[in-house]
Amino acid sequence: MVGEVEDSLQKSGVALPVKIGADVECESDNGALEIDTLELLFDCAPDNAKPTEGVGSACSLDSDCKGSSLVCDKAWGASGGSGKCAPDPGHAAIGTPCTSTTDCGNDPRSACNNESGDGYPGGYCFMEPCSDVDVCPPGSTCVSIGGETPGCYKSCKVDSDCRVGEGYVCNLFLTTQPDGFGPNDHACAFVCKRDADCKTPLTCDVQSGKCRP
């Protein structure tokens, strides 16, 4: 299967320079089909397919989510839709200090952005990857910082929701795929120092350390 994906990429690469549009479109479709097949093999939902149970499935109550480690995050229904089954925040410690992953709960996606290797003051527990299916626990949101894979960071409304004394602020993020998935567009993160720390078209207000539209 991996060889078939590579073959599609190779054929597309040959067709692109000479602008053989039909061949490019054909190989693009082939590659997408092969990737969806791989996703099914590894229990991932194909693009645009909504899971019917487990993480990312629709819910109204916690009881709609099978398993003791899932709860219904109703923030996803704020705009009129349904909630989504999400990891229990009790199994993660998103936004709290850490020195290693063991400090960040027992969810398989839990991780630690530490101070020495990643530059996060005091360390910062988060989860990755995340998407509109692999959703974040309630109280956190799926965003991408710099060129990193989208991860779950603590949701916020004001700076005081974050660890201000350690250099964190309530910052603005894009929630458009693939840079972020939400459900909230503000999360606790370190201050920006240049425009590259924000996702285009957002720019950095150096004085406040926040990304602005």
- Interval 117-160: pLDDT, tens: 888 999 999 999 999 899 999 999 999 887 788 999 999 999 99
pLDDT category of residue 197 using cuts at 50, 70 and 90: confident
Residue 13: what pLDDT?
A: 52
pLDDT (tens digit per residue) in 32-66: 433 333 333 334 444 556 788 889 999 999 999 98
Predicted structure pTM score: 0.73
Would you say residue 17 has pLDDT above 70?
Answer: no
Residue 25: what pLDDT?
A: 43
CA distance 155 to 163: 12
Tell me the pLDDT of the chain averaged across its residues: 80
pLDDT category of residue 9 using cuts at 50, 70 and 90: very low
| Residue among 92, 169, 96, 190 at smallest CA distance from 135 | 92
Return the structure tokens found at 126: 């988060």
Phi-psi bin for 89: left (phi > 0), alpha (psi -120 to 50), beta? alpha
